Amino acid sequence: MMFLLRGLFGILLIVLVWGDATARAQGLVSHRALYDVSLLESREGSGVVQATGIFFYRFQSRCDGWSTENRSRLILGDADGGLEENLWSLTSWEARDGTHYRFWGREVDNGAVISLMRGEATLEADNRQVVFTQPEEAYFDLPPGTLFPSRHLIELLKAARDGKRMMAVPLFDGADQGGAMQVSAMISGSKPSDKGAGSLLEGAGLTPLPVTPIHMAYFDPASGEPLPVVELSAHYRPDGIAESLVQDFGDFAIRGVLMQLELLPDEGC
Protein backbone atom coordinates (compact mmCIF):
# COMPACT_ATOMS: atom_id res chain seq x y z
CA MET A 1 0.00 0.00 0.00
CA MET A 2 1.34 3.43 -0.90
CA PHE A 3 -0.38 6.75 -0.34
CA LEU A 4 1.77 9.68 -1.46
CA LEU A 5 0.35 12.75 0.25
CA ARG A 6 1.28 16.12 -1.14
CA GLY A 7 1.00 17.73 2.27
CA LEU A 8 -1.34 20.46 1.11
CA PHE A 9 -3.00 20.52 4.51
CA GLY A 10 0.10 22.31 5.67
CA ILE A 11 -0.21 24.67 2.74
CA LEU A 12 -3.74 25.46 3.81
CA LEU A 13 -2.38 26.43 7.20
CA ILE A 14 0.24 28.67 5.64
CA VAL A 15 -2.42 30.87 4.07
CA LEU A 16 -3.92 31.84 7.41
CA VAL A 17 -1.89 35.02 7.89
CA TRP A 18 -0.98 38.37 6.38
CA GLY A 19 0.96 41.56 7.14
CA ASP A 20 1.42 42.99 10.62
CA ALA A 21 -0.45 46.28 10.11
CA THR A 22 -3.31 44.48 8.43
CA ALA A 23 -3.20 41.81 11.10
CA ARG A 24 -3.57 44.36 13.86
CA ALA A 25 -6.42 46.05 12.02
CA GLN A 26 -8.25 42.76 11.58
CA GLY A 27 -7.28 41.30 14.99
CA LEU A 28 -5.14 38.49 13.54
CA VAL A 29 -2.67 36.96 15.93
CA SER A 30 0.57 35.01 15.94
CA HIS A 31 -0.32 31.57 17.22
CA ARG A 32 0.48 27.90 17.48
CA ALA A 33 -2.24 25.33 16.75
CA LEU A 34 -2.60 21.55 16.83
CA TYR A 35 -5.32 19.66 14.93
CA ASP A 36 -6.60 16.13 15.50
CA VAL A 37 -6.94 14.26 12.19
CA SER A 38 -9.43 11.52 11.33
CA LEU A 39 -10.96 9.89 8.27
CA LEU A 40 -13.95 11.85 6.98
CA GLU A 41 -14.87 9.75 3.95
CA SER A 42 -13.47 6.80 2.01
CA ARG A 43 -14.77 6.23 -1.51
CA GLU A 44 -14.86 3.02 -3.50
CA GLY A 45 -11.45 1.93 -4.70
CA SER A 46 -9.44 4.15 -2.35
CA GLY A 47 -8.11 1.29 -0.22
CA VAL A 48 -8.25 3.55 2.84
CA VAL A 49 -10.35 2.31 5.75
CA GLN A 50 -8.84 4.37 8.57
CA ALA A 51 -6.84 7.54 9.08
CA THR A 52 -5.44 9.11 12.23
CA GLY A 53 -2.89 11.80 12.86
CA ILE A 54 -2.09 15.37 13.83
CA PHE A 55 -1.32 18.65 12.09
CA PHE A 56 0.86 21.28 13.78
CA TYR A 57 1.00 24.90 12.67
CA ARG A 58 2.94 27.92 13.95
CA PHE A 59 2.76 31.46 12.59
CA GLN A 60 5.06 34.22 13.82
CA SER A 61 4.97 37.86 12.76
CA ARG A 62 8.53 39.20 12.41
CA CYS A 63 10.12 42.52 11.56
CA ASP A 64 10.89 41.66 7.93
CA GLY A 65 8.03 39.31 7.20
CA TRP A 66 6.16 36.26 8.46
CA SER A 67 7.53 32.83 9.27
CA THR A 68 5.48 29.66 9.37
CA GLU A 69 6.16 26.11 10.46
CA ASN A 70 3.90 23.25 9.38
CA ARG A 71 4.22 19.61 10.41
CA SER A 72 1.90 16.65 9.96
CA ARG A 73 1.84 12.98 10.92
CA LEU A 74 -0.75 10.85 9.18
CA ILE A 75 -1.28 7.10 9.54
CA LEU A 76 -3.45 5.45 6.88
CA GLY A 77 -4.77 1.89 7.11
CA ASP A 78 -6.13 -0.51 4.48
CA ALA A 79 -8.64 -3.37 4.71
CA ASP A 80 -5.84 -5.94 5.14
CA GLY A 81 -4.50 -4.24 8.24
CA GLY A 82 -1.58 -2.58 6.50
CA LEU A 83 -0.49 0.81 7.79
CA GLU A 84 1.43 3.66 6.22
CA GLU A 85 2.95 6.52 8.20
CA ASN A 86 3.45 9.79 6.37
CA LEU A 87 5.44 12.65 7.94
CA TRP A 88 5.45 16.03 6.24
CA SER A 89 6.92 19.41 7.11
CA LEU A 90 7.20 22.81 5.45
CA THR A 91 8.84 25.92 6.86
CA SER A 92 8.54 29.21 5.01
CA TRP A 93 9.27 32.92 5.16
CA GLU A 94 7.49 35.61 3.13
CA ALA A 95 8.54 39.24 2.82
CA ARG A 96 6.05 41.84 3.97
CA ASP A 97 5.77 43.36 0.51
CA GLY A 98 4.87 39.96 -0.94
CA THR A 99 7.74 39.87 -3.45
CA HIS A 100 9.99 37.19 -1.93
CA TYR A 101 9.30 33.74 -0.52
CA ARG A 102 11.69 31.10 0.89
CA PHE A 103 10.72 27.54 1.74
CA TRP A 104 12.13 24.27 3.09
CA GLY A 105 10.12 21.04 2.93
CA ARG A 106 10.52 17.34 3.75
CA GLU A 107 8.31 14.27 3.36
CA VAL A 108 8.95 10.84 4.88
CA ASP A 109 6.91 7.75 4.02
CA ASN A 110 7.26 4.68 6.25
CA GLY A 111 10.64 5.91 7.46
CA ALA A 112 12.06 6.64 4.00
CA VAL A 113 12.67 10.20 2.84
CA ILE A 114 10.76 10.57 -0.43
CA SER A 115 10.97 14.32 -0.92
CA LEU A 116 13.21 17.23 0.02
CA MET A 117 12.31 20.73 -1.11
CA ARG A 118 14.28 23.95 -0.79
CA GLY A 119 14.13 27.11 -2.81
CA GLU A 120 13.26 30.76 -3.19
CA ALA A 121 10.70 32.56 -5.31
CA THR A 122 10.53 36.16 -6.49
CA LEU A 123 7.59 38.21 -7.73
CA GLU A 124 8.93 41.41 -9.25
CA ALA A 125 7.97 43.26 -12.42
CA ASP A 126 11.00 41.97 -14.34
CA ASN A 127 11.57 38.73 -12.42
CA ARG A 128 8.77 36.27 -11.66
CA GLN A 129 10.59 33.03 -11.00
CA VAL A 130 11.11 30.22 -8.50
CA VAL A 131 14.55 28.66 -8.07
CA PHE A 132 14.78 25.21 -6.47
CA THR A 133 18.07 24.02 -4.96
CA GLN A 134 16.58 20.70 -3.73
CA PRO A 135 15.81 17.99 -4.70
CA GLU A 136 17.73 19.25 -7.72
CA GLU A 137 18.41 22.62 -9.25
CA ALA A 138 15.43 23.77 -11.29
CA TYR A 139 13.84 27.00 -12.48
CA PHE A 140 10.19 27.78 -13.16
CA ASP A 141 8.63 30.98 -14.41
CA LEU A 142 5.61 32.21 -12.50
CA PRO A 143 2.66 33.60 -14.48
CA PRO A 144 1.43 37.18 -14.09
CA GLY A 145 -0.91 37.54 -11.16
CA THR A 146 0.77 34.82 -9.09
CA LEU A 147 0.41 35.26 -5.34
CA PHE A 148 2.32 33.85 -2.40
CA PRO A 149 0.29 32.35 0.47
CA SER A 150 -0.02 35.43 2.70
CA ARG A 151 -1.05 37.75 -0.10
CA HIS A 152 -3.45 35.10 -1.36
CA LEU A 153 -5.37 35.20 1.89
CA ILE A 154 -5.39 38.98 1.95
CA GLU A 155 -7.20 38.93 -1.37
CA LEU A 156 -9.38 35.98 -0.40
CA LEU A 157 -10.71 37.54 2.78
CA LYS A 158 -11.06 40.91 1.09
CA ALA A 159 -13.25 39.19 -1.49
CA ALA A 160 -15.31 37.71 1.34
CA ARG A 161 -15.74 41.12 2.98
CA ASP A 162 -16.80 42.58 -0.37
CA GLY A 163 -19.49 39.94 -0.71
CA LYS A 164 -17.79 38.03 -3.53
CA ARG A 165 -18.30 34.29 -3.67
CA MET A 166 -15.51 33.17 -6.03
CA MET A 167 -11.84 33.92 -6.65
CA ALA A 168 -9.36 32.20 -8.98
CA VAL A 169 -5.63 33.04 -9.10
CA PRO A 170 -2.24 31.31 -9.55
CA LEU A 171 -0.67 30.45 -6.18
CA PHE A 172 2.89 29.37 -5.46
CA ASP A 173 3.56 27.65 -2.13
CA GLY A 174 6.61 25.41 -2.59
CA ALA A 175 4.91 22.11 -1.79
CA ASP A 176 6.11 20.47 -5.02
CA GLN A 177 9.00 21.00 -7.39
CA GLY A 178 7.02 22.89 -9.98
CA GLY A 179 5.45 26.21 -10.77
CA ALA A 180 2.29 27.88 -9.56
CA MET A 181 -0.97 26.03 -9.01
CA GLN A 182 -4.25 27.48 -10.22
CA VAL A 183 -6.46 27.82 -7.15
CA SER A 184 -10.20 28.32 -7.45
CA ALA A 185 -11.90 29.37 -4.21
CA MET A 186 -15.56 29.38 -3.25
CA ILE A 187 -16.48 31.62 -0.31
CA SER A 188 -19.60 30.96 1.75
CA GLY A 189 -21.43 33.27 4.11
CA SER A 190 -20.41 33.36 7.76
CA LYS A 191 -21.82 30.84 10.23
CA PRO A 192 -21.59 30.27 14.01
CA SER A 193 -18.31 29.11 15.51
CA ASP A 194 -17.67 25.37 15.30
CA LYS A 195 -19.01 23.29 18.16
CA GLY A 196 -16.29 22.14 20.53
CA ALA A 197 -13.96 25.06 19.81
CA GLY A 198 -15.36 27.31 22.53
CA SER A 199 -13.32 26.03 25.47
CA LEU A 200 -10.08 26.07 23.45
CA LEU A 201 -10.70 29.62 22.31
CA GLU A 202 -11.58 30.82 25.79
CA GLY A 203 -8.51 29.06 27.20
CA ALA A 204 -6.38 31.07 24.77
CA GLY A 205 -8.11 34.30 25.78
CA LEU A 206 -10.37 34.49 22.73
CA THR A 207 -14.14 34.61 22.37
CA PRO A 208 -16.14 32.57 19.83
CA LEU A 209 -16.71 34.49 16.57
CA PRO A 210 -18.54 33.64 13.35
CA VAL A 211 -16.42 31.65 10.91
CA THR A 212 -16.24 31.91 7.12
CA PRO A 213 -16.22 28.58 5.23
CA ILE A 214 -13.81 28.69 2.27
CA HIS A 215 -13.35 25.85 -0.20
CA MET A 216 -10.29 25.75 -2.49
CA ALA A 217 -9.55 23.48 -5.45
CA TYR A 218 -5.91 23.18 -6.57
CA PHE A 219 -5.31 22.56 -10.29
CA ASP A 220 -1.94 21.78 -11.89
CA PRO A 221 -1.76 23.75 -15.18
CA ALA A 222 1.25 21.72 -16.32
CA SER A 223 -0.68 18.43 -16.23
CA GLY A 224 -3.61 19.57 -18.32
CA GLU A 225 -5.92 17.52 -16.10
CA PRO A 226 -9.43 18.97 -15.70
CA LEU A 227 -9.80 17.66 -12.15
CA PRO A 228 -8.11 19.26 -9.12
CA VAL A 229 -5.05 17.67 -7.54
CA VAL A 230 -6.60 18.19 -4.13
CA GLU A 231 -9.42 20.17 -2.54
CA LEU A 232 -9.13 22.02 0.75
CA SER A 233 -11.78 23.52 3.00
CA ALA A 234 -11.53 25.49 6.23
CA HIS A 235 -13.67 27.46 8.66
CA TYR A 236 -11.74 30.68 9.27
CA ARG A 237 -12.17 33.06 12.19
CA PRO A 238 -11.64 36.78 11.47
CA ASP A 239 -8.34 36.54 13.39
CA GLY A 240 -6.96 33.98 10.94
CA ILE A 241 -7.36 30.87 13.08
CA ALA A 242 -8.90 27.85 11.35
CA GLU A 243 -11.29 26.02 13.67
CA SER A 244 -11.63 23.01 11.37
CA LEU A 245 -10.09 21.74 8.13
CA VAL A 246 -10.87 19.18 5.42
CA GLN A 247 -8.48 17.80 2.79
CA ASP A 248 -10.06 15.83 -0.06
CA PHE A 249 -7.80 13.67 -2.25
CA GLY A 250 -10.63 12.51 -4.52
CA ASP A 251 -10.89 8.91 -3.37
CA PHE A 252 -10.77 9.74 0.34
CA ALA A 253 -10.96 12.78 2.59
CA ILE A 254 -9.59 13.61 6.04
CA ARG A 255 -10.73 16.10 8.64
CA GLY A 256 -8.68 18.19 11.09
CA VAL A 257 -10.30 19.57 14.25
CA LEU A 258 -8.62 22.14 16.48
CA MET A 259 -7.44 20.47 19.69
CA GLN A 260 -4.81 22.87 21.09
CA LEU A 261 -4.31 26.60 20.65
CA GLU A 262 -1.74 29.02 22.02
CA LEU A 263 -1.33 32.70 21.19
CA LEU A 264 2.23 33.90 20.55
CA PRO A 265 3.71 37.40 20.87
CA ASP A 266 4.63 39.19 17.65
CA GLU A 267 8.37 39.68 17.18
CA GLY A 268 9.07 43.36 16.55
CA CYS A 269 12.03 45.01 14.84
Quote the pLDDT of residue 65: 82
Average pLDDT, the chain: 86
In the predicted model, is pLDDT for residue 150 greater than 80? no
The whole-number average pLDDT for the span 69-84 is 93
| pLDDT tens profile 191-214 | 998 888 888 888 998 888 888 899
In the predicted model, is pLDDT for residue 216 greater than 80? yes
| pLDDT tens profile 163-180 | 899 999 999 999 888 899
Quote the pLDDT of residue 255: 95
In the predicted model, is pLDDT for residue 111 greater than 90? yes
Which segment of 178-187, 233-242, 244-253 scores lowest on mean pLDDT? 233-242
Quote the pLDDT of residue 1: 40
In the predicted model, is pLDDT for residue 267 greater than 60? yes
Residue 66 near residue 47, CB atoms below 8 Å: no
In the predicted model, is pLDDT for residue 4 greater than 50? no
Distance of CA 55 to the CA centre of its chain: 11
Distance of CA 53 to the CA centre of its chain: 16
The whole-number average pLDDT for the span 230-234 is 93
Quote the pLDDT of residue 26: 43
In the predicted model, is pLDDT for residue 14 greater than 50? no
Q: Where are the alpha helices (H) located in the chain, listed in sequence order?
A: 8-14, 20-26, 149-161, 198-203
The whole-number average pLDDT for the span 151-168 is 85
